[in-house]
Amino acid sequence: MTTEIFVTPQWLMDHLNDTHIQVLDARLLPPGQELVRDVEAEYLAGHLPQAVFFNIGQLSDTKAPYPHMLPRAENFAVAMRELGVDHEKHLIVYDEGNLFSAPRAWWMLRHFGVENVSILAGGLRAWQQAEFPLASGETFLAPTQFESNIVHDDVIPLTKMLLLSHEGGTQIIDARATARFKGEVDEPRPGLRRGHIPNSLNLPWDQLVSQGCLKDNADLRAEFRRAGVDITQPAVVTCGSGVTAVVLLLALYQLGQQDVGLYDGSWGEWGSRDDLPVRP
C-alpha cells in the first residue's frame, strides 16, 4: 500500500479511533520565537486527541554543537518507545499549520525506518477551522517496541558537501530566505556568518507552501524551474538547521524525485566554520 504524503482533517477525523492510526504533534518554533513562546506549553493547552508531543528539539542530538542534528538510531528508538509510538502503525504528524516542522518529523521517522507516515494538511490550524475537537494536557501511551532500521542513509556529511560544492555533480538547494542566502541580513542564530555554500541554488521553502500544504505539482515544478533546479536530477537540500530543507525534499519527493539527500548540519555548521568557503 502506498501511503499518501498528506491526509485531510476530515480523513483523520473519520479514522482517529482506528487502531492502526497514531497522531504526533510536531510543532517547532523558528529561531528567536522560543524567547517569547513556549511550544510545549502550547501543546499542553490544546492538541489533537491522543496526540503525543514529538519534540524535535529534544529528539535531536542534544550533545551536537549544531541545532537539530539527527540522534543515534538507538537513542531515537528508545525515545519513541517511551512515547508509545509504534513503528508498524500509520503515523500522522502535524505542526501549527505552516508546514514549517511537520516535514522534518515525517523525514526523521522515515529515515529511521517507519514505512507509513503522513502529514496533516493544514496542521492544527486546519483542524481547528474544521471545528474538530482538541484535547489538553499530556497524552500518555503504553511503551512500545519501536525498532529503528535505517534502510537508506540520506544524510550528507560535511566532507561530502565540500566535495559537492567544489566539484559539482549534484545540485545543492538552500531553503533559506533569499536575503539570508545573499548575505544581506544577519542569521537569526548568533555567531553565524552571512552568505551561502558556493555553487548552491536558492529556493525559499515557503514559496512551495500554500495553506499549510504543498502547492500543486504544476506550481511546484514552476518554482523549481525558476530557481534553476532540474527536478529530474539528484539534489542535496540545506537550510539553517536542517528543518525547512525537508520542505524542498518533500516537494521533490511528491514530484517523483527520491534521490535527494539532506545536509543535516546545514548553515548552523557551515556558517559557524571560518575554514569553509562562503559566497555572498
Which residues are the active-site residues?
239
**SS3 of residue 18 by DSSP:** coil
Distance CA 266, CA 172 (A): 11
- Which residues neighbour 240 within 8 Å (Cβ) at sequence distance 6 or greater? 31, 176, 180, 187, 188, 189, 266, 267, 268
- Which residues neighbour 211 within 8 Å (Cβ) at sequence distance 6 or greater? 122, 126
Q: Which three cell numbers stand for residue 41?
A: 506549553
Phi, psi of 119, deg, nearest 5: -110, 135
Phi, psi of 175, deg, nearest 5: -90, 0
